[in-house]
Structure 1
Amino acid sequence: MTFVFAPSAELGRQTDSRMHIGLSESLTYLGQAVQPHDFDLSADLFDFGGQLQAGLRIPALSFSEYYSLVPTLQSGDLAQCRAMLAQMRSRGARQSGQIIRAVGHPGAEALTHSLSQDPDELLHMAAVSDQTLTDFTALLREGFGLMDAHVPDLAAEIRAIVHDILLGHAQPGSKVEFDGASHYQYWGLLMLNPKHHKTPLAVVEVLAHESAHSLLFGQTIEEPLVLNPDEELFTSPLRPDPRPMDGIFHATFVSARMAWAMEQLADVATLSPADRQQAAEAAAKDRQNFASGLSTVRAHGRLTQTGAQIMAAAEDWITR
């Protein structure tokens, strides 16, 4: 399938479907592998995989539990696997629309606990206040309203991919402060730090940023973007610390998507002159970041066919 750079509802839906079908196929494979050892567990894996194939869409937390299920199965602890699969299935289908949660508030406990077990410090978040939750939820609505009015294709793609938004701050004393984050193991989840996004325009840019990471996750089920080992580190356009080539690729593509969003808004005559100027300046910075990242990818990246096609699409848009 040819990758199209511009955002669209169809691209979002296809990506979401790819992730669920990929999970379905993996569960079916696991069911086949375990069948000689535990027929009932095998049947449950087949059944769950079949439900996903038939259209069941599950929440981010269920996706993350799959990544714990696999090593447990490989260890041979089939009793624990049965319990983990039952827990995974008990969460049922994801809710329709988007859910906005916040660390430290009802409804976010299980997700927050799961994220806190991850070795990535970025995912260990501190609670936000009641007022912050109220204010930032309203700001998110404004940001989506701005997209609905002027970049509806981006809004539709994001809604097709992002179904759970979790608000949180960096932990006190954290060495790394985040403004937004996403993780391939938590498909459908986007994490935002309300401290860093103060206007609807800023919300649009961070949503374009983080959803583009998720978009790439969903495009790389069959093969990765790059073949460079993670031990090779390079200068990143978006992070102060050296990053693996996969991270450089992500940052480069994401910069192009951010530029796309900001340039669209910079051309909206009904926006205030200040907002149009801010959007134009952000787009120019995003283009600079893309050029910086692309030079590193060209010099050192060992791209797969998927990676080459996606980067070519981004570059074609930038240089159009």
Structure 2
Amino acid sequence: MSETVPFSQFVLKVHSRCDLACDHCYVYEHADTSWSRKARAASDEVLERTAGRIGEHARTHRLPAVHVVLHGGEPLLAGPERLRRAAELLRAALPAGCALDLRIHTNGVLLNRRFLELFAEQGIKVGVSLDGDRLANDRHRLFPDGRSSHAKVLAALALLREPEFRHLYAGLLCTIDVANDPVAVYEALVAERPPRIDFLLPHATWDHPPVAPEGAGPTPYADWLLAVHRHWSERGRPVPVRIFDSVHRTLRGRSSLTESLGLDPADLVVVETDGTLEQADSLKTAYDGAPATGFDVFAHSLDEVARHPGMRERQSGLAGLAAQCRACPVVRSCGGGLYAHRYRTGGGFDHPSVYCGDLLKLITTIRDRVSAPVAVPAQQRRPLTAAHLDELADGLGGPDAVAALGRAQLELSRRLVTAVGAAGGSPAWQLLAETDRTAPGALDAVLAHPYTRAWAVRCLGGEQRADLGGLAELAAAAAARGRAEFELVLPVRAGWLHLPTLGRLRLDGRSEAVLRGGPDGLRCGEHTVGWDRAGDHLWQPVRKVALPGWTLALEDTDPQRDSHQWPAADRLADAELLDWTGALREAWELLGRDLPGYAAGIAAGLATVTPLAPGPDGRDVSAAARQAYGAVGIARPTTAPVLALLLAHEFQHVKLGAVLDLYDLYDPADERLYRAPWRPDPRPLEGLLQGTYAHLAVAAYWASRVRAYDGIRGDAATAARRQLATWRAHTADAIETLAGSGSLTPLGERFAAGMRTGLAPALAVPVGAAAERAAREAVAADLAAWQGAAARR
């Protein structure tokens, strides 16, 4: 491996001590003793220099995002102000267009409202360690005086689940002890409603093998995990479990979600409290000083660290494994296990994992369980849990439910693109298939782009069957994201060569061009776009807006973006980009304050805003394309509150469209037209359903505005009360029309009931007699207009 694999994941130690005395802790209880020589807390100088190094690295390698975990020890011991300082420095140091995914991992005992308010302000997601119920947790996770930590952790999790903080909840991490009941541990974790669960094998080496109960079989850890896997599968996989999801993905040739499985190169570096740069913390279990590199943030760049022999060894894939591993039939899924678990004195890391037998049994058993049943047709798959459906029916849908919709949409896009490209065997298709094998995450990023599906549907519908240039654009974009070497002919459309999700290059006077890619960047004739320097002046990248807890693309380059009912705007000038950024920041603050239940789903599922051309006569226009999940089109309104309303309204259409791709909510044979109270023309049943669902957010928005005006007089307050009274009446009327249609499926009836529940808070907000009277008059006028139009039809 000659090229440098850039780091995208950083563990920043902000405090090196802990308030618990967990006897399975790799930092304090295993071979490495360096913690005792580290500064207790990271100084301002260390934080500043670390942020600078990360920003420098992101700029050099043109990273689209970096992932930073604030860690320890126990990071909350650093205190709120030091954590705030770290977050602010990191965010300020990153170049424009590079998003910051900032998280903190804590034992939870100090987690309180003050910390969570800070994390909400700074967009810091929270992962918590919990080993199960009290019996399981107290085997290891105790205070130094022997007291249980369990009650304090549960209290912290209850606070984290409150609506204002739920979007910060990243998941639970559980270290396995095979003496604990696996199902009881799993149920205790699920009871805390985490968005994800990580089960970790306790760190061990061939010098210090993992503990196994007396009389246990040869694979106790596999047996424990498989008991959880069966229970998890039988209950419909209600929560993502990282180790299981990684096995499922790697068995299909895709990337792992954890460094302990798969062959993906490691891209993580640790910054200790004194500024020293180290390899993964898990190496502390091997021998004293194992993670050390000899580098620090004051004297060395991150590129120098990436060239360290230990880092290179962990990035060498199959070639870096022991001969026994390379010959194993499940090596591409197992990946040799966690690097640290291969260590033996005298032989270093050139061994299979000390958990080799457990990993082999775990992977092959899951493989057999997954492949044994008859495949369910794609249209019958049900990726949403009952809880997800209930959330969505209420009009909301938290991050878990929206993420599940996104996964289903990604799979749908994959099938559609396959249907377009697989038959021809073109060079573009071959490059796509190769990228799926070598860099599946890069391909997923392109397939998840909203306008990929829009293009595929157009092709399959015959609209542009003869033009498969879009396939080449997708393949080149995915390969470029994967830093692969390739050469491909791409179309030049109206003077532009397009790479979806990345940007476009100006190339006048030709209809096609040869694009070459490699680890250093892209080359097209005399034009270059490098990953390690600014691009050609004719290159226009897709620009992103990073907001607290939400990063989105302002898509003004993709020719497929013209998928909405209103025309797309041209490329935004710098001043327009600044206006959009400011408006989005204000609108996002309003959504987080006034509609937190909607904002959490928006952050999880709305990745793209496409600027539209101004509406006729200055009218506010917005749209959601049925075949472009994850995008909305909006002509920038004059005020941030209107933008907030449009974002919430249009994302309702996006969510419901994704649900309708998976489930039948109504009988498609019903071709009748129905009255939509807000429109003069009749609507088909799906149109009425879509409008009703979107107006749940409209009613909730005006309810929040009325609550803000409580006790206040004035034109704005009066207008808000009238808007609420009108929209909630319209929405309630439409729900009853849907329910009385006789064409809803049982699930559709469940959605109608959920929409009633979702509307109830808005119906309960008092608006006063004058507003109610004005609303009744408006509703009556709308009804009379509709009846008059119906009589003329």
CA distance in 2, matches of 1:226, 1:157: 24
Check 1:87–1:126 CA distance in 2 against 1; reply closer, same or farther (3 A cut): closer
* Structure 1, unpaired ranges of 5+: 102-107
For residue 657 of structure 2, what is the aligned residue in structure 1? 217
Whether the aligned pair in 2 keeps the contact of 1:182 and 1:213 (CA below 8 Å) is: yes
The structure 1 residue matched to 2:683, chosen from 231, 239, 243, is 243
CA distance in 1, matches of 2:749, 2:411: 24
**Structure 1-normalised TM-score?**
0.73
CA distance in 1, matches of 2:748, 2:441: 27
SS at match of 1:218: helix
The structure 1 residue matched to 2:567, chosen from 124, 137, 144, is 124
Structure with bigger gyration radius: 2
The share of aligned pairs that are identical, in percent, is: 18
SS at match of 1:124: coil
The structure 1 residue matched to 2:609, chosen from 148, 157, 165, is 165
Cα distance, 1:185 vs structure 2:
1.4
**Partner deviation per Cα, 1:137-190 (whole Å, 9 max, x = no partner):** 4222211112223433422211222212122235769xxx66210112122211
Whether the aligned pair in 1 keeps the contact of 2:624 and 2:654 (CA below 8 Å) is: yes
CA distance in 2, matches of 1:231, 1:283: 32
SS at match of 2:744: coil
**Partner deviation per Cα, 1:26-72 (whole Å, 9 max, x = no partner):** 556x39x966x759888667667783799546322222122133345
Cα distance, 1:272 vs structure 2:
7.8
CA distance in 2, matches of 1:90, 1:309: 44
Cα distance, 1:246 vs structure 2:
0.6
For residue 88 of structure 1, what is the aligned residue in structure 2? 474
Letter in 2 for 1:155: A
For residue 639 of structure 2, what is the aligned residue in structure 1? 199
Whether the aligned pair in 1 keeps the contact of 2:416 and 2:456 (CA below 8 Å) is: no
CA distance in 2, matches of 1:312, 1:266: 25
CA distance in 1, matches of 2:449, 2:592: 24
For residue 146 of structure 1, what is the aligned residue in structure 2? 590
For residue 553 of structure 2, what is the aligned residue in structure 1? 99
Check 1:41–1:146 CA distance in 2 against 1; reply closer, same or farther (3 A cut): closer
SS at match of 2:610: strand
Letter in 2 for 1:11: A
SS at match of 1:99: strand
CA distance in 2, matches of 1:203, 1:171: 14
268-277 vs 63-72, greater mean Cα deviation? 268-277
CA distance in 2, matches of 1:290, 1:201: 21
252-261 vs 150-159, greater mean Cα deviation? 150-159
CA distance in 2, matches of 1:241, 1:45: 45
For residue 402 of structure 2, what is the aligned residue in structure 1? 12
Letter in 2 for 1:85: L
Whether the aligned pair in 2 keeps the contact of 1:64 and 1:185 (CA below 8 Å) is: yes
Letter in 1 for 2:610: L
**Larger helix share, 1 or 2:** 1
Letter in 2 for 1:193: A
CA RMSD of aligned residues (A): 4.0
- 1:286 equivalenced with 2:727 (yes/no): yes
For residue 621 of structure 2, what is the aligned residue in structure 1? 179
- 1:257 equivalenced with 2:697 (yes/no): yes
Whether the aligned pair in 1 keeps the contact of 2:561 and 2:610 (CA below 8 Å) is: no
CA distance in 1, matches of 2:442, 2:670: 32
CA distance in 1, matches of 2:422, 2:443: 22
**Structure 2-normalised TM-score?**
0.33
Letter in 1 for 2:751: I
- 1:292-307 correspondence to structure 2 within 5 Å: 292-300=733-741, 302-307=743-748
Check 1:172–1:263 CA distance in 2 against 1; reply closer, same or farther (3 A cut): closer
Whether the aligned pair in 2 keeps the contact of 1:224 and 1:306 (CA below 8 Å) is: yes
For residue 105 of structure 1, what is the aligned residue in structure 2? none
SS at match of 1:165: strand
Letter in 1 for 2:475: R
* Structure 2, unpaired ranges of 5+: 1-384, 482-500, 502-543, 762-793
**Partner deviation per Cα, 1:190-226 (whole Å, 9 max, x = no partner):** 11123xx443332222211101000101112223433
**Partner deviation per Cα, 1:68-111 (whole Å, 9 max, x = no partner):** 33345997x7xx55x4422233333757821235xxxxxx2434
**Larger strand share, 1 or 2:** 2
246-255 vs 88-97, greater mean Cα deviation? 88-97
Whether the aligned pair in 1 keeps the contact of 2:688 and 2:734 (CA below 8 Å) is: yes
Check 1:301–1:214 CA distance in 2 against 1; reply closer, same or farther (3 A cut): farther
Cα distance, 1:286 vs structure 2:
2.2
Letter in 1 for 2:473: Q
The structure 2 residue matched to 1:110, chosen from 558, 565, 578, is 558
CA distance in 1, matches of 2:683, 2:672: 8
SS at match of 1:267: helix
Letter in 1 for 2:593: A
